[in-house]
Structure 1
Amino acid sequence: MFEDDFVSVDLSFPAKDTMSEKSSEKKKSPILFEKVVYYFREYCNATSIHGFRYFGESRTVYEKIWWFIVFTICLLMCVFSIISVYRKWDQSPVIVTFATRGKPICDIPFPSITVCSESKVKYSVFDYRNAFLRKKEGEDLTEMEENYLSVLSYMCKEQRGFNYSSLTHANSDNFLDILAEVSPEFSIINCRLRAKSYPCKKLFTPIVTDEGICYTFNMLDRRELFHENVVHHKHFHDINETSEEWSIEDGYRDTADILTYPQRALLAGARYGLKFELKTENEKLDTLCRGSVEGYIILFHTPLRFPRPSQQYIRIPYNRAVSTTITPTQIMTSDAVKNYPAQKRQCYFPREKKLKYFNIYSQSHCEIECLTNFTLLSCQCVLFHMPRENSTRICTATDYYCAQTAEFRIQQIRLYNRIKKRIPESLKQHICHCMPMCSDIEYRVGSSQSVWNWTEEIESGLYAVNDTDNVNYHLSKVRAYFLSGNFIGSERNELYGPTDFLANFGGLLGLFTGFSILSLMEIIYFLSVRLICNIRLYRNWAGQI
């Protein structure tokens, strides 16, 4: 009996201890919760964030729900506004604005001017119409005639129904020699620059372009424009001048003379521009090649840009006096924008993106190189006006359709990339990403013309010529000059710099919530310093409850 009672008493002790532990835990939980509530109320009463003090007041639940809804709505509006500002800063951090002050035209070079003849075949050298029609009828031509036709297939307009691949005897080794031989000759005479006469051969240099043999003024030498591996034809584009005193980004150096290279645009007005005359022998026109249009085309471009006259030009008819007015537009880039990646600022600096053939980057050079590489890949040759290495073959008439298809496809890829934004994997390797230059100059040109009765001037003695008896030629006069001595350029700047973005961010937080840097310091203070100090002062992290 005694043992049984003892055992029952002994078993009851653990149960009693367990109950006491559970009851003590229940007593501790409210104390911890009260500490948290007390400490939160202390923060609400002290914080500078608008509306928070209402959460700490001993008010009704309905009031607290009201303020919770208001605070949540304001916070959401603030977050959405900040996200919108961030996206704008992330996607388009650069903005183009007008410069704050004007610049004199002497800070920029006079535009390069490239002149080409509209006629592409010299009738006295080769009868294009006769040879073409004979070949079309199936007659056999000599090897020389096929070579001429092969060269002119890229200079004359495309003739539908003619099989260019039938010119099987064409040879690419002397392509440029034949081009120079068959091209019509024209002279540039009576050159005046800044009201002073100059030998035209000193100002104009022959150059091979997509319009054949042309002449260019004030352009960078081929050694500066192209890499050493690029092959050139004889003396073409050999200027023997350097542009050490000028760059597209910094302009002319302070040490540069007034008369330097490339030629400066010193003064405005017709008297101080460039004036020259174009002389062509009056010869039978082969209308089958390029139609019945006679005269010249001229292109204005920056000295560092290789000309593509077929893309944009002004027409100069025979026996006309043409006046062209020049208005420059310049875009520069601030130093702050240079720190952005190229995809963010949407432009390249001249030597930032390396090209295979060109020393200096430009959007035009990139596009030329893109087409050159694609043509070489597709046809194992390049067109006569494209940059090439010594081992690269020049395309002949047998490659005509391949070259035309290559140009069409590269344009198609470029448009597809711009419009659709998605490109098949097989074509991605041919995307060249040719963005504009960060610092660039363009020349807007306006023109007017009138009939020039130069034969009457000869008869009256107002116009001097060497041979007064033989006037069997055409003359055209061109005058190019700046309209104004000053211009206002543009500049790429940061849309939001770090300070601007921080100001927008803080302004939105302050507008919707009253939050500031001091508010952040308050949160850090209540979560760290105040807790430690309360423990030291009151032996309790919540303070004196």
Structure 2
Amino acid sequence: MNNAGTKVKRIWRGFLSDTSIHACHYLTHENKHVVSRLLWLLAVMTCFALLVMNLQILYTDYKQYNYRTKTSVIFDDKLEFPAISLCNSQSFNTSRMNRTSELYKFLYGKHMINISTNLYFSDPKWNSTIVTPWDLETAILTSYDTFLRVSHGPERLGRNSFQMSYKEPLKTCFTYNGQWKQKDLTPMTANEDDELEMYVDINQDLYAFQCLTAGISLCIHPPGEPLDSKTPCTVLSPGHAYQVELTVQDYTYLPHPYNSYQSGDCTETSHYSFKKTLKYFHGYSYRGCLLECLTDTVLEACGCITEYEVQNASNKYCTVRQRQECVSPLRRRFYKNTSYANNAMEWCNCPRPCSNVVYHQDLSSSFFPADSLIDFLKDMQFTSSLEHARSNLMRITISFKSLMVTHITHVPEYTLEDMISSMGGFMGFFVGASILSVLEVLDVVLRTITATIASYFKVEIVNKPKRVLPQTVLTM
């Protein structure tokens, strides 16, 4: 065993003398005083301790999965034009209402401000009264009532360019460039000069029911994303000309384990591995997934749907009592519980996309129409008087402020490559080591183990008792 110890000492002494790690050769230098060698040993051990401490801090920071925000600006020739939805403060046309019909009585109860709707709808007659989207369409202010003239760039648009949608129950809207129901999404692109111009009549004199305000809600959202109650909108009042200039921001977040989207997880829906599809929509969108989930939830709990949910020929529509007692409370609870990304996954398996586009609006306004324009508007049969125009008409123009897209991207604060690079920096700074130095240490450890094992077996062989053969005596 003494030979083994001597051999191991020789291996380590040779390693300390020849290694590239700083100051190790001073530990075995025969010309150095023992005190000097002890001081160098203390220095080397201190540097190794600092190295281990910093590597531990580095690893802890890496496992926290922090991220930083990177911003870049890219110019393009054209940008994808968003979907534009306009919702009147009051959707129903008094000239189309039959005041003796159950539909009118239902809508009256939903719109009257100073009555208790629960008491109003407790009447047994509402148990069998069904309200369908087709019933509502016969009573609303249509796109032909609302849009006086629309053009996009040089092209004049017909009123049928707007499709009807619902932002809320009984809240009809008209959407331009909404593509969430189309099988093949064809992006509509525009440059700075392609301005969407709309002359709008809110028809305040035709409002069928009480309304706190009169105006238009302007909602701007991605074309492939359906309109719903959570879509942000801006309220515009009549008697003004509005100029809306759009700036585009493209956000890219990090999925698990970084969870950089509102401290929740997100999914790279554009990745080839993403396989989730929707039953009622072509292409995946988060709002479409929630609306589909709400439809299934309402169907399961109430056995029917309303005009707000996704329409399907096989689904029946709710009675007024079902709307009031089942669907409305369920819808409120649904949106409350799915307001956070993680809750949406638990309730509906609707992953948040890790990328989304936001259209920011710069809004400016002036009085409309000018006194000098009223005769022209009369000739166009848009209005009958200045007073009527100021109470009902507005002009809205929407265009891109510039063809500049701001990309806001979350990137990991520490990647694996960053961690390896920092480890190399710390090793070089504290002990002058590198990956090759690590290999040197592994080599000397392996040689030590080999020498120890070899010496052990050699000792076993030497100390093993020899076998004595019996002597044979020959007799003559």
Give the TM-score normalised by the residue count of structure 1.
Answer: 0.68
How many Å separate the matches in 1 of 2:127 and 2:135? 11
Q: Which residue of 2 aligns with 1:124?
A: 95
From the superposition, tell whether residues 266 and 167 of structure 1 become closer, same or farther in structure 2 (CA, over 3 Å): farther
2:303 pairs with 1:380: yes
Aligned residues: 436
TM-fit CA distance, 1:458: 3.6
Alpha carbons 2:163, 2:176 under 8 Å: kept:
yes
2:306 is the counterpart of 1:390: no
Query: Are the equivalent residues in 2 in contact too, given 1:323–1:447 (CA < 8 A)?
Result: yes
Q: Which residue is 2:175 aligned to?
A: 216
Change (3 A) 1:75 1:320: closer
Deviations 1:67-120 (A, max 9, x none): 4751452243133223124314xx34x654112x522260x2122111111113
Residues 478-524 of structure 1 show CA distances to partners (whole Å, capped at 9, x for unaligned) of 11122223333234545444433321232233333333111022124
C-alpha offsets along residues 106-150 of structure 1, whole Å, 9 cap, x if unaligned? 0x21221111111133223448xxx8xxxxxxxxxx7x41x4444
Q: Matched residues in 2 for 1:55 and 1:275: separation?
A: 84
Give the Å deviation of 1:43: 1.2
Moved more, 470-479 or 73-82: 470-479
1:364 counterpart residue number:
287
Q: How does 1:64-83 map to 2 (within 5 A)?
A: 66-67=42-43, 69-71=45-47, 73-83=49-59
Which secondary structure state, in structure 2, belongs to the residue aligned with residue 392 of structure 1? coil
Separation in 1, partners of 2:113, 2:301: 22
Aligned residue number for residue 205 of structure 1: 163
Amino acid at match of 2:218: I
- Taking the aligned partners of 1:491 and 1:274, their CA distance within structure 2 comes to 30
Are 1:162 and 2:85 an aligned pair? no
Partner of 2:217: 297
Q: Distance in 1 between matches of 2:278 and 2:429?
A: 50
Match 1:243 to one of 179, 185, 200: 185
Q: 8 Å contact 1:47–1:53 — kept in the other structure?
A: yes
Contact 1:81/1:508 (8 A) holds in 2: no
Segment drifting more, 488-497 vs 180-189: 488-497
Cα distance change of structure 1 residues 402 and 63 upon mapping to structure 2, 3 Å threshold: same
Q: What residue is the counterpart of 2:151 in the other structure?
A: 192
Structure 1 position 445 matched with structure 2 position 361: yes
TM-score (norm: length of structure 2): 0.76
Once the two structures are overlaid, the 10-residue window that deviates more, 299-308 or 386-395, is 386-395
1:97 paired residue among 43, 54, 70: 70
SS of the residue 1:504 aligns to: helix
Structure 1 residue aligned with 2:249: 329
Instruction: Find the partner of 1:312 among 222, 232, 236.
Output: 232
- Tell me the amino acid that sits aligned with residue 422 of structure 2: N
Seq. identity, % = 18
Code of the residue aligned with 1:115 in structure 2: it is L
1: distance between equivalents of 2:383 and 2:107? 36
Distance change >3 Å, CA 429–CA 308, structure 1 → 2: closer
Q: What letter matches 1:223 in structure 2?
A: Q
Q: Secondary structure in 1 aligned to 2:308?
A: coil
Q: Which digits, 9 at most, give the CA deviation of each residue in 1:407-445, with x for residues without a partner?
A: 343344346x77xx8x9xxx995264542x334322111
State the one-letter code of the partner of 1:401: E
Q: 1:159 to 1:404 in 2, by over 3 A?
A: farther
**Structure 1, 164-173 or 362-371: larger mean CA deviation:** 164-173
The residue type paired with residue 265 of structure 1 is A
Shift of the 212–380 alpha-carbon distance from structure 1 to 2, 3 Å rule, reads same
DSSP-derived class of the 2:146 partner: strand
Q: Distance in 1 between matches of 2:108 and 2:424?
A: 68
How far is 1:172 from its partner? 7.2
| Contact persistence 2:126–2:320 (CA under 8 A) | no
* 1:263 to 2:263 alignment: no
Q: Tell me by how many angstroms 1:175 deviates.
A: 1.0
Candidates 403, 422, 431, aligned match of 1:513: 431
Task: Name stretches of at least 5 consecutive residues in structure 1 with no aligned partner.
Answer: 1-28, 132-141, 225-241, 245-261, 534-539, 541-545
User: 1: distance between equivalents of 2:222 and 2:345?
Assistant: 31
Give how far 1:402 is off. 2.6
Superposed CA deviations along residues 455-478 of structure 1, whole A, max 9, x for unmatched, are 76243x466324887996732211
2:15 is aligned with 1:39? no
